[in-house]
Amino acid sequence: MLTINLLINSFFNSLLKRRPAKNIIIFAVALISLLFSSLSFSSCKMPEDLPTGDLGIIIERMDGSVLIINNSSLSILCRIEGLGDLSHASAVFSRNARYAFVFGRDGGLTKIDLLKGNISKRIMQSGNSIGGAISQDGQYIAVSNYEPGGVNIFTVDDLSLVAKIPALYGESNMSSKTVGLVDAPGNQFIYSLYDGNEIWQVQMQRHADKPESDFPAVNIIKKYHNAGKAPYDALISSNGRYYIAGLFAEDGLSLIDLWHPEKGVTKILSHYGKGQKKLPVYKMPHLEGWAIAGNHAFLPAVGLHEVLVVDTGTWEEVTRIKVHSQPVFAMASPDDRQIWVNFAFPDNNTLQVIDSETFKIVKQFQPGKGILHMEFTPRSEHVWVSVRDNDEIIIYDTQTLKEVKRLAAKKPSGIFFTSRAHRIGL
């Protein structure tokens, strides 16, 4: 406010001194710009003594805003504006679950204080980003970028730049989009090069390992070449052992056993889709939403109306489940009992629930158009579903499969609960 007051005083002094009209216009434009900037970094009055364990955020993709929610009281606590382009946004949380870090499509990285209900800091770190991860020790935030490519790494405390890692590949050092960035045990990040057909493994030194003057230290410990054609996204298993990249330009997936990286990249499910005419792909599946329940992984098949069931011991296909349309997310409830599946346009008005034991579809909903994301409460009792075109969130009871509540939201997409702070790869 002090800066705004100084600018206002300077503006009116210029009028009193009859400075040239050009200067007055410059002052006016600057004042208006600063006022709008101040307004866009909104804040809320949050309840006192608020616990963070049952909080979360909902992305409002069209308005560049975020809702802070409470998944125990099933309520919206706050709306925060000024986060830029959130058309493809994701988020991670600090170890103490107080701060959310939101990755915007415009290259913005925003740190939100969930207890104060405001933006703690926001930076523009690239021209086009696709997601990110927080390190095992909670000290670093890594962001994967489409434009100009590569990965940027920042400190969690004040978003200071730690490292810029260009994704250069081949003899001509071409730059690649980076995708599928996740955290891994050993204070590592691992990600894929979409254009370069490679997977890179990066290790961050821990603060306790060396004197502070030697930090930050970043070490690219391994580059996996010829990792498959056009890896478009990836996941890491919940125990941090397997990194699996989906491939857009060929059938199958690429797997790395991080317990035995010397084995290199293994191709799995290389036969799926062979001999079949694939349908147009309206939306790529999001692999971090792939479900691993018990001894099986449930994977949305690219260009097919199927969910693949895979044995996680052998990584061989067990069966296929015919579903309503092209699946986008196949997400397992935390108790592994159910798999909830949503679908790409034009069938994005439908949800299906699969029993993880029988592989049977036990329920189908059509709650509204633009179903973009699902998020389970930490102990599985509820699932929150974003319905973009209805401007609402629908909450279901996972036992009865009945609707519990609806909440108004502006074009909602991603839903993220703070329970993610304590899980690998999320």
**Mind listing the pLDDT tens digit for each residue in 275-287?**
455 555 544 555 6
Binning pLDDT at 50, 70 and 90, where does residue 299 land?
Answer: confident
Which token pair is 355?
């029993």
Lowest-confidence pick of 2-6, 21-25, 134-138: 2-6
Domain definitions of the chain by residue range: 1-39
Tokens 């060396």 appear where? 210
Residue partners of 21: CB distance under 8 A and separation at least 6:
none
Look at residue 2 in the predicted model and tell me its pLDDT: 32
Tokens 């939306």 appear where? 283
**Mind listing the pLDDT tens digit for each residue in 366-414?**
999 999 999 999 999 999 999 999 999 999 999 999 999 999 999 999 9
Q: At residue 167, does pLDDT exceed 90?
A: yes
Q: Are strands 128-134 and 118-124 parallel, antiparallel or unpaired?
A: unpaired
Q: 3-class SS at 353? A: strand
Look at residue 45 in the predicted model and tell me its pLDDT: 81
* Whole-angstrom distance, CA of residue 29 vs CA of residue 403: 49
Look at residue 271 in the predicted model and tell me its pLDDT: 76
Share of the chain above pLDDT 70, in %: 83
Q: 3-class SS at 195? A: coil
Residue partners of 19: CB distance under 8 A and separation at least 6:
none
